[in-house]
Amino acid sequence: MSIFARLLPLCLAFALAAPLAAQTPLQDVLQANRADIANPSRGTVGQVIAALMAADAPGTDEFLRQWQDRTVIEEPQTGLFYYATEVEGRQLALIDVDSGFEAARVGSRDVTAIRPNAGVRREIGAALVRFELSAPDPARRLAALEAIGRSPDAEQIALLAASIPDEPDTDIRIRKERLLDLLNARFATETATRIAAIAGLSGDVSTEARRALNQILATEPGIAPSLPQDRNIARVLIPGQDLSREDAYDRLVAASLAPARADRNSIRDGLLAHVADGMVGGLPTHRMSDPSARLAAYDALVAQGLVPPLVSEADIDQSLAGYAFFDAYLEPDATLTDAARAAIEQTDTRLRLFQWLAISLDALSLASIFFLAAIGLAITFGVMRVINMAHGEFIMMGAYTGYVVQTMIPDYTVSLIIALPLAFAVAFAAGVAMERLVIRHLYTRPLETLLATFGISIALQQMAKNIFGTQARPLTAPDWLAGAISLNDVVSISTIRVAIFVLALIFLVALLVMLKRTRLGLEVRAVTQNPGMAASMGINPDRINMLTFGLGSGIAGVAGVAIGLYAQVTSEMGANYIVQSFMTVVVGGVGNVWGTLAGAGLIGFLQKGIEWFNPSNTLAAQTYMVLFIILFIQFRPRGIIALKGRAAGE
């Protein structure tokens, strides 16, 4: 080992020690205030904390926390302070306040535990918050703000307000001001301050702001003989209109204002309690399978005073008539609740707008996935009237290609850049091979193409299972695609979905350019519209068919990579998309890129729209969507954008 190497750690140690040397070690600061730390009182603790803060030794915050948690001890001989953690037996490990290393082990009776009382601990806690709120590290300040947001209370107002003027970071300053508003809205002592703060929250769609407003507007159910004047009443509930008679009566029962209704079970229990010698209420038990016999027996028991009488409908009505039902705000001040309600209405309007935007974004992203999955199919189906049931498996092939590339190239960005064209090539080759070997022989028998390609589909799926196994394989997105772009708490979209949208857009433009501007596109369109005529004009339909099939399959491969990035790669992933893809093509109208776009848009927005009405149940959304499509095809059998003319009729 060279001398240089030996010296290096030493140099480093000096380099690190240099800035530390400027500060006093924490232990020294503590020793300077030894007596007040060991026996803190409410009167002295303020000075001690001020002194600690002024010295700002590293680890001060940790010390305050431990002090508050009563885990600081004093070593009686040296008078030094340590943090204590219990180890096995009655042993305590003493941890040095500066280095954080274990200094010694002692019996728990050999040291003096420092036990600040509740008042002192509150002071320490406030100091800690203050300390953190003005910590030099912005991340710590943010963490402190978050902690306050999680468990807000009245005492934080002053601390927070005090930290705002010195806040150097504009973003954090804004957050602090908003948090202050939140605290003021709920805890400020002055009503005017609270109302001002509430007004400040109006239109703020963040979850914390909404939660704060909703907490001000929290209600509890109330019952009284007549509406009380001293309560801040949210709404009056009329039984039979605003709440059902049963619920209203149940409220009375819960408040012990009325006897419980007897349901079948309580009747049965009442009867069971008075069975004797196979008889109950004067009737034999074997007749008790008849509900009317049970009632008769119960009535007999009531007559003997053995069970409480049944509550009749008339009784219920009478009980209900005697009381007013209402929901009252927990907050007694009506001006505050009115302000909060006005604010939340404002917020709700904006919220609906943002939710609408969020759903639209969701729908757009779903539509681009459908578009990507379906466009290849639309090309093959449109040009050749060939139903390719193996299309989904080309998507799967593309996704597995991406997976394999990723196992070989660890850099996700590079592997993605390689995987996209490679997936296209693999699927293109597979598509061309399939066209040459199978589909070409079946052009006159479209239904049989459907079946033959289905045969290929099950063979490919099973082969993928045999090769890659049945468990899902990950296709990891590079970091720059992994996050999410969020506008606020309501609207956010993952980057990967944006990327898929962009990819769909690129494909749309590329296909349109190819179809409208190139020779191949011209020939493809010619074959789509009239194969016979195209052939007679010297276009080789065989070649066009092969190329279009390859193209459609290749796009499926690329779509596979994209889909694999946000879903998982399994041998069945293609099958999950195939029916939807067909419906996209059919709904949109065959043989037309715009049609597919329209179909994907319709289906995507529809599915999200239905999900919006019933967010918990995506299965139901899908069911209704398929039903809608079935009905849609009734009315527009040729899709949204249909080819017209005699050629379309064939």
Partner 1 sequence: MTLLEVRDVSVSFDGFRAINNLSLSIGEPELRAVIGPNGAGKTTFMDIVTGKTRPDSGQVLWGERQIDLLRLSESQIARAGIGRKFQKPTVFEDQSVRANLSMAVRNKRGPFAVLIWRATAQDHQRITELAHEIGLTERLDDRAGDLSHGQKQWLEIGMLLAQDPRLLLVDEPAAGMTPSEREHTTDLLKRAAQTRAVMVIEHDMEFIRRLDCRVTVLHEGSVLAEGSLDHVTKNQQVIDVYLGR
Partner 2 sequence: MTLINRPPVAATAPILAQGTQTPPPRRGFLRENPSIPWFLGLLTIFTLIVSVLSEGLGIGALSTSMVKILGMTLCLCLIAIAMDVVWGYCGILSLGHFAFFGLGGYAIGMWLMYARTEIVIRESLTGAVLPPTEAELSEAVAAQIFGVVGSSELPLIWSFAHSLPAQLALVVLVPGLLALVFGWLAFRSRVTGVYLSILTQAMTLALALYLFQNDTGLRGNNGLSGLQNIPGLFDIPQAVLAVWFLWASALALGLGYLLFAWIVSGKFGSVIRAIRDNEARVRFLGYNVEGYKLFVFTLTAIISAIAGALYYPQAGIINPAELAPIASIYLAVWVAIGGRGRLYGAVIGAATVSLLSSWLTGGGAPNIEIGAFRLMWADWWLVFLGLGFVAVTLFFPKGIGGLFDKIVRKAP
Which residues sit at the interface with partner 1, rule CB under 8 A? 644-646
Residue 282 binding partner 2, by CB under 8 A: no
Among 142, 626, 642, 643, binds partner 2 (CB under 8 A): 626
Phi-psi sector, 589: left (phi>0), alpha (psi -120 to 50), beta? left
Quick one: CA torsion of 273, 276, 282, 284, rounded to 10 degrees? 100
Residue 619 makes contact with partner 2 by CB under 8 A? yes
644 binds, options partner 2, partner 1, none, Cβ within 5 to 8 A by partner type: partner 1
Distance CA 108, CA 641 (A): 84
In the bound complex, what is the minimum distance in angstroms from residue 636's beta carbon to partner 1? 16
| Binds 301: which of partner 1, partner 2, none (CB < 5-8 Å by kind) | none
**Interaction of residue 441 with partner 2, rule CB under 8 A:** yes
With CB under 8 A as the contact rule, the residue among 6, 109, 150, 264 that binds partner 2 is 264
Joined together, the tokens standing for residue 5 give 């190497």
Q: For partner 2, which stretch binds (CB under 8 A), given 138-146, 289-297, 495-503, 522-530?
A: 289-297
User: Please, what is the minimum distance in Å from the beta carbon of residue 431 to partner 2?
Assistant: 15
Which residue in 454, 566, 605, 612 binds partner 2 (CB under 8 A)?
Answer: 454
Which residue of 33, 71, 206, 285 would you call a contact of partner 2, by CB under 8 A? 285
Which C-beta is closer to partner 1: that of 136 or that of 645?
645
Q: Does residue 312 interact with partner 2 by CB under 8 A?
A: no
| Max Cα–Cα distance, the chain, nearest Å | 109
Q: Are 233 and 326 in contact (CB under 8 A)?
A: yes
Residue where the block lists tokens 């309007």 = 349
If one asks whether residue 310 binds partner 2 (CB under 8 A), the answer comes out as no
User: Which of 291, 308, 474, 615 touches partner 2 (CB under 8 A)?
Assistant: 291
Contact by Cβ (8 Å): 49, 159: no
What does each C-alpha distance from 266 to 285, 296, 308 come to in angstroms?
A: 16, 15, 10
- Does 238 participate in binding partner 2 (rule CB under 8 A)? no
Residue 598 beta carbon to partner 1: minimum distance, rounded to whole angstroms? 19
When the beta carbons of 68 and 607 are compared against partner 2, the nearer one is 607
Q: CA 348 to CA 61: how far, in whole Å?
A: 41
User: How far apart are alpha carbons 184 and 186 in whole angstroms?
Assistant: 5
**Interatomic CA distance for residues 416 and 541, integer angstroms:** 35
Quick one: which of 286, 519, 644, 646 contacts partner 2 (CB under 8 A)? 286
Decide if 552 contacts 344 (C-beta within 8 A). Answer: no
Secondary structure E strands in 68-132? 72-74, 81-86, 91-96, 102-107, 112-113
Q: To the nearest whole angstrom, how small is the minimum distance from the Cβ of residue 440 to partner 1?
A: 24
Which stretch in 12-20, 189-197, 554-562, 578-586 sits in contact with partner 2 by CB under 8 A?
A: 578-586
Residue 469 sits in the site that holds partner 2 (CB under 8 A): no
Under the binding rule (CB under 8 A), the answer on residue 586 touching partner 2 is yes
Of 219 and 530, CB closest to partner 1 = 530
Residues in 385-414 at the binding interface with partner 2, rule: CB under 8 A? 385, 387, 389
Question: What does R_g of the chain's alpha carbons equal in angstroms?
Answer: 37
Only one residue has tokens 């004009």, namely: 537
Closest CA to 233 of 117, 132, 107, 328: 328
Q: How many angstroms separate the first and last alpha carbons of the chain? A: 87
The region that residue 482 occupies, defined by phi over 0 for left and psi between -120 and 50 for alpha, beta otherwise, is: alpha
448 dihedral zone (left: phi>0; alpha: psi -120 to 50; beta): alpha
**Least distance (Å) between residue 317 CB and partner 2:** 25
Among 271, 301, 404, 597, binds partner 2 (CB under 8 A): 271
Q: Return the one option of partner 2, partner 1, none that residue 646 interacts with (CB less than 5 to 8 A, by type).
A: partner 1
Closest distance to partner 1 from the beta carbon of 643 (Å): 9
**Residues belonging to the chain:** 650
CA distance 180 to 142: 14
Q: Which residues of 480-518 are buried (b: 16+ CB within 10 A; e: fewer)?
A: ebeeeeeeeebbebbbbbbbbbebbeebbeebeeebeee
**Residue 87 contact among partner 2, partner 1, none, beta carbon within 5 to 8 Å by kind:** none
Determine, following the binding rule CB under 8 A, whether residue 575 of this chain makes contact with partner 2: yes
Q: Which residues contact 84 (CB under 8 A, 6 or more apart)?
A: 71, 72, 73, 92, 93, 94, 95, 108, 111, 113
Residues 38, 210: Cα–Cα separation, whole Å: 44
- List the one residue from 35, 458, 484, 506 that touches partner 2 (CB under 8 A): 458
Least distance to partner 2 from the beta carbon of 427, Å? 18
Q: Which is nearer to partner 2, 523 or 611 (CB)?
A: 611
631 touches partner 2 (CB under 8 A) = yes
The dihedrals phi and psi of 589, each to the nearest 5 degrees, come to 110, 130
Q: CB of 360: closest distance to partner 2 in angstroms?
A: 24
Burial class (CB in 10 A: 0-12, 13-18, 19+), 577: buried
Closer residue to partner 1 in complex, CB, 286/646:
646
Q: Which one of partner 1, partner 2, none is in contact with 516 (Cβ closer than 5 to 8 A by kind)?
A: none
- Smallest distance, Å, CB 437 to partner 2? 8
CB of residue 649 vs partner 1: minimum separation in angstroms? 9
Q: C-alpha angle 336/342/348, rounded to 5°? A: 130
Q: Which does 438 bind (CB under 5 to 8 A by kind): partner 1, partner 2, none?
A: partner 2
Residue 289 site contact among partner 1, partner 2, none (CB < 5 to 8 Å, cut-off depends on kind): partner 2
| Rounded Cα distance, 331 and 220, in Å | 10
From residue 452, alpha-carbon distances to 288, 460, 530 in Å are 65, 12, 25
Residues in contact with partner 2 by CB under 8 A are 264, 268, 271-272, 275, 280, 285-286, 288-291, 294, 385, 387, 389, 438, 441-442, 445-448, 450-452, 454-463, 465-466, 575, 579, 582-583, 586, 617, 619-620, 622-623, 626-627, 629-631, 633-635, 637
